[in-house]
Amino acid sequence: MKSRSFAGLVILVIMALSMFASAAFAAEDDTKAWQDERLQWWNEARFGLFIHWGIYAVPAGTYKGKQIGGLGEWIMNSAKIPVAEYAKYAAQFNPVKFNAEEWVKMAKDAGMKYIVITAKHHDGFAMFPSKVSPFNIYDATPFKRDPLRELSRACRAQGMKLSFYYSQAQDWHHAGGAAAGGHWDKAQDGSMDKYLTEIAAPQVGEILANYGPRVPGVLWWDTPMDMTKERAEILLPQLKLKPFAITNNRLGGGYAGDFDTPEQTIPAAGNKHRAWETCMTMNDTWGYKSYDTNWKSTTTLVRNLVDIASKGGNYLLNVGPTAKGEFPKESVKRLKEIGQWMEKNGKAIHGTTASPFANLSFNGRCTRRGDSLYVHVFEWPREGVKLSGLVTPIGSATFLNDGSKAEYTRAGDAEGAPILTIMPPAHSDPIDTVVELILAGPLEVAPAAGEKAK
């Protein structure tokens, strides 16, 4: 054999072995250091966009002329719509207004750093071309595009991390998929192990393999119904395709994943030993409902973000796009207003860690980045706000909304604990005025003030 072709063969063998070797990474190889490395970008991000999009946006909460209670994306289950009947919505789903670049820009302008979109929700409809099942956006709708690919390109171009939600256990279309409340159509009956092996695992493989070297950033499992350890291990090997992918605590079978997922709620206190992300709707539904008008105010949404960041968590805020492929105008408005606040105050959120203070004597929060503190004041008392327990001297104090210097005085209380009083600004921000305290040394907090922070 000529030396050049032999050398080429050797290189091919080495490449194949290295690929096999890298694919050998498994859950049991994982370590805390690996997990910290995987989570680094996610911990920096603090704020992401959840997108619940699917053919449930076609009925948009109404079936046979009746408004169906519950979540928009649950309409098939809530109204016990037969499988073949519900599948007809696919032929009506043609989101010609969908523009991936616009979606990503709205998220980016809002100060969000990652997007988690439903690749397949409980209804079993894949929002990507799937060789595993024809019940997907490419084969079953007039749209004939791959929104996940268009989003992966737009995210790469705009520096946004793209992640996928996948409902691994509940699947109300394919035989054997689990269904909360039990099956209501014989077409749903079948072996769950067969469903996991022939539908869920191969589809997870598709979304892990087909959208870029670091996509998905997060694989967001959901509702681990009837998931045993053995069943979870039907899906786990797929993760070897993307050892950097972060996973949540909703796979089932006792697998904790990398972070916890309080839903529609903000924990009273953070967790110093476990990453966590609050996911929340802007109104009351994840998937679009035409008549859900119970929108949270921008003030509430920003203060939620601040509260979560002050406890060391992430905020995954949801938008449910319409069947035409547009964000509801109320969502667009809120994302824009959040972005106006984040434009001036984003450094008090991105890359921060939990407050070092157990509690505060004013209506606000505190976030931290190393030896800088961010004092968030929701409402200013006329006499200013008092921050007790900060031992470290202040290097500078600045209002982030207008860059003006903050006036402050330092004293000790009756027990001698240090008290910093910050006077109100000339122009406060009605949502949250942030004072950036650059410390003149390493952060030191009096024990009493920091006791609950442990």
Decide whether 73 or 206 has the Cβ nearer to ligand JFZ: 73
Decide whether 235 or 375 has the Cβ nearer to ligand JFZ: 235
Q: 142-169: string of b/e by CB count within 10 Å (b at 16+)?
A: ebebbbbbbbbbbbbeeebbbbbbbbbb
Out of 47, 286, 378, 399, which residue is the one contacting ligand JFZ (CB under 6 A)? 286
Residue 29 near ligand JFZ by CB under 6 A = no
d(CA 162, CA 155): 6
- H helices of 221-328, in order, are 229-235, 298-310
Considering the complex, what minimum distance in angstroms separates the CB of residue 12 from ligand JFZ? 44
- Taking a C-beta distance cutoff of 8 angstroms, is the pair 341, 429 a contact? yes
Q: Please give the DSSP secondary-structure letter assigned to residue 200.
A: I
Out of 36, 263, 379, 402, which residue is the one contacting ligand JFZ (CB under 6 A)? 263
Decide whether 304 or 372 has the Cβ nearer to ligand JFZ: 304
- Taking a C-beta distance cutoff of 8 angstroms, is the pair 355, 367 a contact? yes
Residue 155 near ligand JFZ by CB under 6 A = no
Question: What SS3 class is residue 408?
Answer: strand
Bridge partner list, 399: 435
Decide whether 103 or 286 has the Cβ nearer to ligand JFZ: 286
Considering the complex, what minimum distance in angstroms separates the CB of residue 156 from ligand JFZ? 25
How many residues belong to the site for ligand JFZ (CB under 6 A)? 8
Decide whether 286 or 374 has the Cβ nearer to ligand JFZ: 286
Residue 316 near ligand JFZ by CB under 6 A = no
Considering the complex, what minimum distance in angstroms separates the CB of residue 60 from ligand JFZ? 15
Residue 277 near ligand JFZ by CB under 6 A = no
Considering the complex, what minimum distance in angstroms separates the CB of residue 172 from ligand JFZ? 11
Decide whether 120 or 376 has the Cβ nearer to ligand JFZ: 120
Question: What SS3 class is residue 124?
Answer: coil
Decide whether 121 or 145 has the Cβ nearer to ligand JFZ: 121
- Taking a C-beta distance cutoff of 8 angstroms, is the pair 219, 164 a contact? yes
List the one residue out of 262, 267, 277 whose CA is nearest residue 46: 277
DSSP for 66-122 reads EEPPS-GGGHHHHTT--HHHHHGGGGG---TT--HHHHHHHHHHTT--EEEEEEE-T
Decide whether 223 or 340 has the Cβ nearer to ligand JFZ: 223
d(CA 422, CA 19): 58
DSSP-derived pairing of the beta strands 433-439 and 394-399: antiparallel
Site for ligand JFZ, residues 54 to 73, rule: CB under 6 A? 71, 73
Considering the complex, what minimum distance in angstroms separates the CB of residue 74 from ligand JFZ? 6
Residue 78 near ligand JFZ by CB under 6 A = no
Considering the complex, what minimum distance in angstroms separates the CB of residue 223 from ligand JFZ? 5
Residue nearest to ligand JFZ (CB): 286
Out of 62, 99, 197, 223, which residue is the one contacting ligand JFZ (CB under 6 A)? 223
Q: Please give the DSSP secondary-structure letter assigned to residue 338.
A: H
Residue 53 near ligand JFZ by CB under 6 A = no
List the one residue out of 220, 71, 213 whose CA is nearest residue 155: 213
Decide whether 74 or 327 has the Cβ nearer to ligand JFZ: 74
d(CA 266, CA 385): 24
Residue 222 near ligand JFZ by CB under 6 A = yes
- Max Cα-Cα span within the chain: 90
Residue 115 near ligand JFZ by CB under 6 A = no
Summarize as ranges the residues that interact with ligand JFZ (CB under 6 A): 71, 73-74, 222-223, 263, 279, 286
